[in-house]
Amino acid sequence: MTIIADNIQTPVWMDTNLQWNPKFWKSLKAKTLMRLNPHWHLDKKTEAGTPVEDMLVDKKFLSEPILSFEQNIFKADFPETGLSISARMDDNGGSTSLRYDFTPVADSKFTTEDAQKTVQYWLPSLREYYRLHQSNSVKHRFWRFFMDKIMLTMNPTQRRICSFMFKLTMLEILFVTALIIGWHFYGG
């Protein structure tokens, strides 16, 4: 059963169409998992937890996720929001499925709608990061390095600015190339 990310409404298992890789799930760190949420701005960790600002649903909270890996099931609980993300092995290791669960927390302002909006972008982001770890080709190693050392160290605003600058640079290169070609054929 394939679920399109835009249609994630209820806690169901979303097939990733990627082989199960227990080594990836065992080594996944809480900070990396939180940074994979494209709308979470993370500040430096304090004794109380990591300050998080969810820019999509406009909520702020401290997060201290609890990660576990037992019997080929990875689980990340975010007790302060009531959100939980899980990954499991399907088809005897031939496939991996992702899931989220939400249980409202009494003192939290995080609602069911907030959880649905958040995972709508978070699970596909986690899936793509997981896809980068499925192959050890030069291309995948480069993108893993790029994600780990550059993209995941930025907050969402910095990512948008860098993306805009990259697109603008590509446009400038295209424009300069067109000028050089035009000058070569039609100029001096």
pLDDT of 44: 87
Contacts of 48 (CB under 8 A, 6+ apart): 62, 64
Report the alpha-carbon distance of residue 158 to residue 36 in Å, rounded: 14
- pLDDT band at 2, cuts 50/70/90? very low
pLDDT of 156: 83
8 A C-beta contact, residue 96 and residue 86: no
pLDDT of 136: 85
pLDDT (tens digit, 9 = 90+) per residue, 39-90? 998 888 888 888 999 888 898 888 899 999 998 899 999 998 899 999 999 8
Cα 51 to Cα 7, 16, 63: the distances in Å are: 29, 30, 6
pLDDT of 3: 47
On the question of pLDDT at 1 being above 80, the answer is no
Task: Provide the mean pLDDT of the chain.
Answer: 87
pLDDT of 110: 84
Give the global pTM: 0.79
On the question of pLDDT at 11 being above 80, the answer is no
pLDDT of 168: 96
pLDDT (tens digit, 9 = 90+) per residue, 35-49? 999 999 888 888 888
pLDDT of 148: 86
